[in-house]
């Protein structure tokens, strides 16, 4: 974890004077593990297509990797610093870690139980067979042996452990094999152990020819290939044991804001070290000997609590490629074609359309194409003089980047605010920044110490003797691939007051000066937190005055203590509060006398719920905001965010109808939290209401 990150964690634990006792708050790490249990649930649901169930299993594995790389790593850093500061939940880092290690072991055990006991047998029935090493035929063994010599052995570097060959520095999350040996080699050495790292270029799953397996998809794990042939790496010696293992490391980056002079240079120097941070977890196959497990723990300076014995491959996440490579549409979600708003035809002038009306896009049910079209048409339009855009995550080979490059090459003023600290996308963003600079674009990196998380695009066009600005604001990233799997909203508008606000934020990001007053946008770190508190407290006042009061908020996470306390006070005043929180929720609903009027639900479905929508009844005025900020301390105080209102009455009704109401009545993919903090999945009683399915049916082009 970074020094800055550690500091932020401790600051989060010393938030304003607590008005409510610790048992009214749920711990962040434990809530995150509960979220992953909900993501694991579809793996056991035979109503979900089989290959999608495997995909959910891989998603949980990936989520758990990040949980250890960031959250557990942070706990360990705090424990190392002997921090005794308690969070809003009253728990110290040591107490949290003690709970986390128990629940993480249980969750990972449940994951492998489903994989081995449910998914693999179900796949086999469908002719997707992972061939077990002890059941290979002679012909299969011969083919695999040939594959090993041809494709695997040339790229392996076995390292015998002796005084001249110390334990190697192993990459984060790499697949490795610890080999126990007997005998002497050509130089008379007999260390008794060696390490073999499988290069990441090697596929973790290999497909055999149909004539050898009798099925269309006969597969073997790379680990099985290695186990069967590892003796070929140690000629003349006896292999007593071969055990696959994987180490997970702290993957947060250290950038010292007191010493760094050039963020880009500092980050380029730090990125290579990410793969070699302090170890936080060791996964070994369940057949690993106790002696070897203890040896590995010692090498990584880990304790027994950090050891995870797993009954199967230690790289479950790398099975994510299987659903894509297996051609079985009947075992996947039905494909769909995203729709387009009626105001957008196949061949249209985006600028003319936006001069007439605002355009609201609801992804993935509706296409991201109009946003791409805005950038593309801006790049090609001689009347466009400038394009400004924030870049958080766009993908490596994005059409967005290509259009920006072409616009700059054509002499337009292209300015990009590239967030270099977008976790796990730092390298991609460095590459994008370099490409843009090469063609003359202005590339800035925002404000040091604050992540630029706002999703903003502005096009300046010469019209009628002056300039007109066209804007896109979104709840998600400018990443065409994720817009197919994340639920998000985007607003395209030429409203001059909104555009003036966006322009003011860009001025802050690229230049210097005090923050100006904005017409409509709420901006972090300046007005977003106070603005949300003001809206919540206005509902509280309305309820106390006997007027109808209602708050509906949809987001990824809610953690910020002052917001939670304001919601508790609103509930006590009689405000109805509906929260749709996909992931972490520190608020405890339904507690008598505290949060009787608060309901919390989480929706886990085909698409990742990602949009942030905030609705306030406002005595009938119905104020509605959207943005990319969760109700978390980092979003309010350590990020640059914008939360924008939906001013058009028709579009506001659409957001309520599509983005909120279906999720409050979903009885298929929704989970409700009770007052103890436990989640229970809703089941249909009568009519079946599935938010994502109904939205696909309503908005997709092929509905």
pLDDT recorded at residue 189: 63
pLDDT recorded at residue 83: 82
Instruction: Classify each residue of 270-306 as buried b or exposed e, where b means 16 or more C-beta atoms within 10 Å of its C-beta.
Output: beeebeebebbbbbbbeebeeebbebbbebbebeeeb
Give me the architecture of the 3-115 domain, per CATH: Up-down Bundle (1.20)
Q: Is residue 674 pLDDT above 80, yes or no? A: yes
By the 10 Å C-beta count (0-12 exposed, 13-18 middle, 19+ buried), 528 is classed as: buried
What is the arrangement of strands in the sheet containing 193-197, beginning at the earlier edge strand? 159-160, 193-197, 176-182, 238-249, 279-285, 307-310
- Contact at 8 Å (CB) between 670 and 380? no
Triad 125, 129, 132: Cα angle to 5°:
125
601-623 average pLDDT score: 97
For 593, other C-beta atoms within 10 Å of its C-beta total 8
- Contact at 8 Å (CB) between 652 and 697? no
**Segment 323-375, tens digit of pLDDT:** 999 999 999 999 999 999 887 866 689 999 999 999 999 999 999 999 999 99
Which CATH number fits the domain 523-699, given the four candidates 2.130.10.10, 3.30.930.10, 3.30.870.10, 3.40.50.300?
Answer: 3.30.870.10
Q: Is residue 84 pLDDT above 60, yes or no? A: yes
**Segment 389-437, tens digit of pLDDT:** 998 777 666 888 899 999 999 999 999 988 875 555 566 767 788 888 8
Domain boundaries, the chain: 3-115, 135-331, 350-514, 523-699
Structure tokens at 130: 């992972």
98-120 average pLDDT score: 97
pLDDT: is 431 or 575 the higher one? 575
pLDDT recorded at residue 26: 96
pLDDT recorded at residue 164: 59
pLDDT recorded at residue 220: 97
pLDDT: is 268 or 596 the higher one? 596
pLDDT recorded at residue 36: 97
681: part of which helix (H) or strand (E)? Answer: strand 679-681
Lookup result for tokens 């942070």: 74
pLDDT recorded at residue 5: 44
Omega prior to 525 cis, within 30 of 0: yes
Omega prior to 71 cis, within 30 of 0: no
Residue 281 pairs with which residues in a beta bridge? 248
**What is 350-514's CATH superfamily?**
Endonuclease Chain A (3.30.870.10)
| 453 tagged catalytic | yes
530-537 average pLDDT score: 98
93-101 average pLDDT score: 96
Tell me the angle at which helices 561-573 and 528-544 cross, rounded to the nearest 10 degrees.
Answer: 10
What's the CATH class of domain 135-331?
alpha beta
**Segment 435-486, tens digit of pLDDT:** 888 888 888 887 878 889 999 999 999 998 899 999 999 999 888 888 999 9
- Contact at 8 Å (CB) between 219 and 130? yes
pLDDT recorded at residue 1: 37
Options 24, 362, 363, 453, the catalytic residue: 453
Average pLDDT across the chain, whole number: 90
* Measured CA distances, 192 to 153, 162, 236, 282 (Å): 21, 9, 13, 21
Tell me if 350-514 shares its fold with 523-699.
yes
Q: Can you say how many angstroms the Cα of residue 101 is from the centroid of all Cα atoms in its chain?
A: 22
Q: Is residue 507 pLDDT above 90, yes or no? A: yes
pLDDT recorded at residue 255: 46
3-state secondary structure of 157: coil
């Amino acid at each position: 974890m970074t020094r800055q990150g550690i500091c932020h964690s401790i600051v989060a634990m010393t938030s304003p004077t607590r008005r409510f006792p610790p048992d009214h708050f749920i711990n962040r790490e434990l809530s995150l593990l509960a979220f992953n249990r909900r993501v694991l649930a579809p793996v056991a649901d035979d109503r979900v297509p089989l290959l999608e169930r495997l995909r959910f299993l891989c998603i949980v594995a990936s989520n758990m990797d990040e949980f250890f790389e960031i959250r557990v790593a942070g706990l360990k850093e705090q424990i190392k610093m002997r921090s005794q500061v308690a969070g809003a939940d009253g728990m110290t880092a040591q107490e949290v870690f003690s709970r986390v290690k128990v629940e993480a072991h249980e969750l990972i055990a449940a994951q492998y139980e489903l994989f081995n006991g449910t998914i693999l047998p179900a796949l086999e029935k469908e002719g997707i067979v992972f061939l077990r090493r002890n059941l290979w035929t002679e012909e299969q063994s011969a083919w695999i042996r040939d594959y090993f010599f041809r494709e695997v052995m040339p790229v392996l570097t076995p390292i015998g452990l002796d005084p001249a060959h110390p334990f190697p520095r192993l990459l984060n999350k790499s697949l490795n094999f610890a080999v126990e040996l007997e005998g002497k080699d050509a130089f008379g050495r007999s260390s008794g152990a060696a390490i073999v790292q499988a290069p990441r270029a090697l596929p973790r799953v290999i497909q055999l020819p149909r004539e050898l397996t009798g099925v269309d998809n006969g597969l073997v794990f790379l680990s099985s290939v290695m186990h069967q042939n590892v003796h070929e790496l140690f000629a003349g010696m006896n292999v007593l044991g071969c055990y696959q293992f994987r180490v997970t490391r702290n993957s947060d980056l250290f950038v010292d804001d007191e010493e760094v002079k050039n963020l880009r240079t500092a980050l380029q120097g730090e990125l290579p070290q990410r793969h070699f941070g302090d170890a936080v977890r060791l996964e070994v196959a369940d057949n690993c000997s106790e002696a070897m497990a203890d040896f590995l723990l010692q090498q990584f300076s880990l304790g027994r609590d950090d050891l995870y014995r797993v009954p199967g491959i230690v790289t479950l996440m790398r099975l994510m490629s299987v659903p894509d490579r297996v051609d079985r549409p009947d075992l996947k979600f039905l494909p769909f074609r995203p729709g387009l708003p009626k105001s957008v035809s196949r061949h249209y002038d985006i600028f003319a359309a936006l001069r007439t009306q605002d355009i609201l896009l609801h992804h993935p049910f509706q296409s991201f194409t109009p946003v791409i079209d805005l950038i593309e048409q801006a790049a090609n339009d001689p009347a466009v003089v400038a394009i400004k855009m924030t870049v958080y995550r766009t993908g490596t080979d994005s059409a967005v980047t290509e259009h920006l490059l072409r616009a700059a090459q054509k002499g337009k003023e292209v300015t990009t605010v590239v967030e270099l600290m977008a976790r796990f996308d730092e390298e991609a963003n460095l590459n994008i920044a370099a490409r843009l600079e090469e063609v003359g674009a202005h590339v800035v990196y925002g404000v040091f110490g604050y992540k630029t998380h706002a999703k903003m695009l502005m096009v300046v066009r010469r019209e009628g003797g002056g300039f007109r600005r066209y804007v896109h604001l979104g709840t998600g990233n400018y990443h065409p691939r994720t817009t197919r799997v994340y639920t998000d909203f985007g607003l395209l508008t030429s409203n001059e007051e909104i555009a003036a606000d966006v322009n003011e934020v860009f001025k802050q990001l690229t230049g210097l000066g005090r923050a100006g007053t904005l017409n409509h946008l709420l901006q972090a770190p300046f007005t977003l937190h106070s603005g949300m508190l003001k809206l919540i407290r206005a509902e509280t006042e309305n309820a106390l005055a006997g007027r109808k009061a209602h708050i509906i908020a949809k987001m990824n996470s809610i953690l910020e203590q002052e917001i939670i306390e304001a919601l508790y006070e609103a509930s006590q005043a009689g405000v109805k509060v509906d929260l749709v929180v996909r992931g972490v929720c520190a608020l405890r609903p339904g507690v008598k006398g505290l949060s009787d009027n608060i309901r919390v639900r989480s929706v886990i479905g085909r698409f990742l719920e990602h949009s942030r929508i905030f609705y306030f009844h406002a005595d009938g005025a119905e104020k509605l905001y959207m943005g990319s900020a969760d109700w978390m301390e980092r979003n309010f105080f350590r990020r640059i965010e914008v939360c924008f209102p939906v001013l058009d009455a028709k579009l506001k009704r659409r957001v309520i109808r599509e983005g909120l109401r279906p999720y409050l009545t979903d009885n298929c993919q929704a989970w409700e939290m009770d007052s103890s903090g436990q989640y229970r999945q809703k089941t249909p009683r009568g009519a079946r209401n599935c938010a994502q399915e109904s939205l696909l049916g309503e908005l997709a082009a092929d509905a």
